[in-house]
Amino acid sequence: MKSISAKNSDAAETKTQFVKASSPAITTALLFAAMFTFVFCALLAARLLAQDNPAQNAMNVPPAPVTRMDNVTDDYFGTKVTDPFRWLEDQKSPETRAWIDKENNYTNSILSKLPGREALRARLSALYKVDSIGMPIEHGGRYFFSKRAATEDQAKLYIRQGATGNDDLLVDPLPLSADHTASVRFDAISTDGSMIAYAVQLGGADESTPHFMDVATHRELPDKFPLARYDGVDFTSAKDGVYYTYQTKDGPRTFWHKFGTAVSDDPIIFGADVGPEKIVGSGITEDGNYLLLEIIYGASNDRTDVYYKDLRNNGAITPLVNDVAASFTVDEGSDHFYLQTNWNAPKNRIVSVDIAHPEKANWKTIVPEGDVPIQGMSLVGGKIGVSYSKNASSLLKLFDTDGKLVRDVSLPTIGSASQISGRWNSDESFYSFDSYFVPPTIYRYDAATGEQTVWARRNVPVDPNKFTMQQVWYKSKDGTKIPMFVAHLKGLKLDGNNPTYLTAYGGFNVNLEPSYSGSAVAWMEQGGVYAVPNLRGGGEFGDAWHHAGMLEKKQNVFDDFYAAAEWLIANHYTKTSRLAIEGGSNGGLLMGAAVTQRPDLFGAVVCAFPLLDMLRYQNFLVARYWVPEYGSSEDAKQFPFIYAYSPYQRVKKGAKYPAVLFVTGDADTRVAPLHARKMAALMQADAAPGKPILLKYDTKAGHSGGAPIAKQVDDTTDELNFLFWQLGVVPKPVS
């Protein structure tokens, strides 16, 4: 079982997606990542910088709309906290809807008039609107993949008969919505490639609807499934039905569905006693012999229980490991389970389990923990593909089943490689590679010989030879050394005046390796600096690095970020008035902390899909998943450290804050949009006059992407143009 979701898809805060791809595994990578590198954008002609222009920054910005206060007071263990905008939590109330309309009108009246807008939009269009293709999955000699033409708004699902055959369209999402906000993805493919399950997703919501199709006839099965948050849909070998898992109102449940019967009659086969604070994932191994099930204890990656069911004889659901406080991911090949785990190995190890003798006393470590953290595992060609992160850059290695190194996989340069995607009984596999200014390339890799060839390359109008990247190390407040990637055009003059884009994440064990971004390219083409520090809370250096940035140690993440900004200033890359910061989701929390703790350090901020009221976050949507990472104000011991940094409670009357653009939307069903609504209203009411506080609120936007490409260009134009405006830069055309 393997995930068919795109690399860097960012759903990790909420769920694990399990789908059958080219190897028999359950990939429990909590999909964060759709927002950690949210939208870095920008554009400009070859090195052309405008001078600081305070008058331009002021630009006669009208006052923000006045928002009614209701001042609800809560008592947290004797500490009384007043919330002036509690009423804005009600997303559906007519008053909130009217308020959103006023805020959008205010924001649009400003952003639509900014200089350089059309030049910026033109370059972003050229960078975004290119032919793109997803990682292929081979089953039964057929190759399944997504593909989007440069002129199309959404990717479509295709099949290719043989490696060099013609591409046949399977699913076109464009007719599904008039505004092209519906998107599709593969959820599962039968072992012989004769059937597919695909999901239809509306806007950026995490919820989707499964559909089932006969590949030969393109006929859809009549079985109707509910719109929900699914964490596994997979075919049996007989293709007479599917096992599937989704979040019910009572918690995650795994069901069995026989095709042709009513979904409402499907029996629960697992998870009946699992609460909504946990995640359950399911998937069937490539050979069809086993149903694999996982219980994930929240999104902090600290505990996973693993179960299996022998489908050949309708065996009982059997625990493989459910008594260890550690994370596990599982794959199966040739009657062995292979486990990646941090149990007694903070940087992870890989264990082999004979299914006939699955007791822990019989487990065998085949790839031991090393100095470099293991990030992922896959089975391909009877071998084990292992991905590592060395100083926040990818390494790929291939081992035999005894743990002997077969070979290293040669990568083009420092950057980000996906896990090798393949099948246990085939030597053919694929992986993708990219870096900040190197567009994604998909390689076909032969596990037997090590030969690799380009399967698909995204032909973006960008010359990587114009750019340079280095990794620097700086000291945080407590002396800890933190790495940071710094990229820009070659020959950049370090005069302390370069517009600089600083973005980070710092949480949930998520890595930020160098990965391609059209908006980052556009920013650097302007002569700007693009900087990404690897803060504590991420997974770049194993469990200790993650734990050093969670719960009561969350302040370390913020301090690491401030130290990165100070290093860039001290080393003459930029200055405060030329320093823009951006972050989304957990990175949005980072932006909120930066604005309220160090408003003196930054010139402009984009805060996207953020968590900001940390005293109440756990009450909304799926945020109970994140309590193991952040803690909860409902806990007397945890309340003090959360209250100390919670951005919404740290806004001060009359403080001089940098300009802030909050970005969110109704379809964010992961991080409740109320955070951005309340914070925008509070800062507009309390901030000193001068710098604009804006809210860009899309009634169809959400956390999980899905926006049509034209909308992505428009949104990125707004966000980058806002930053350029505040940094005193007018975007110029790029030839």
Catalytic residues: 585, 703
Q: Contact, 245 vs 281, CB < 8 A?
A: yes
Q: Contact, 344 vs 325, CB < 8 A?
A: no
Q: Contact, 534 vs 392, CB < 8 A?
A: yes
Encoding tokens for residue 124?
Answer: 């972003």
- Residues with Cβ < 8 Å from 101, sequence gap 6 or more? none
- Which residue stretches of 549-658 are H helix? 555-570, 586-597, 627-630, 639-645, 647-650
- What distances in angstroms separate CA 571 from CA 493, 498, 726, one per listed residue? 11, 12, 22
- Cα gap 242→257, rounded to integer Å: 5
CA 298-88-81 angle, 5° bins: 70
- What distances in angstroms separate CA 193 from CA 20, 25, 225, 256, 535, one per listed residue? 11, 17, 22, 21, 42
For residue 476, the SS3 value is coil
Q: Contact, 417 vs 394, CB < 8 A?
A: yes
Encoding tokens for residue 545?
Answer: 């690095």
- What distances in angstroms separate CA 205 from CA 32, 202, 471, 703, one per listed residue? 14, 6, 35, 6
Tell me the residue ranges of DSSP E strands in 372-458.
Answer: 374-380, 383-390, 393-399, 405-409, 416-417, 421-422, 428-435, 438-446, 452-457
CA nearest neighbour of 138 among 439, 429, 410: 429
Torsion, Cα of 369, 373, 378, 379 (10° steps): -30
- What distances in angstroms separate CA 341 from CA 234, 305, 470, 556, one per listed residue? 24, 11, 32, 26
Give DSSP secondary structure letters for 127-142: HHSS-EE---EEETTE
Tell me the residue ranges of DSSP E strands in 240-372.
Answer: 241-248, 251-258, 268-270, 279-284, 290-296, 304-310, 318-321, 328-333, 336-341, 349-354, 364-367
Residue 467, amino acid = F
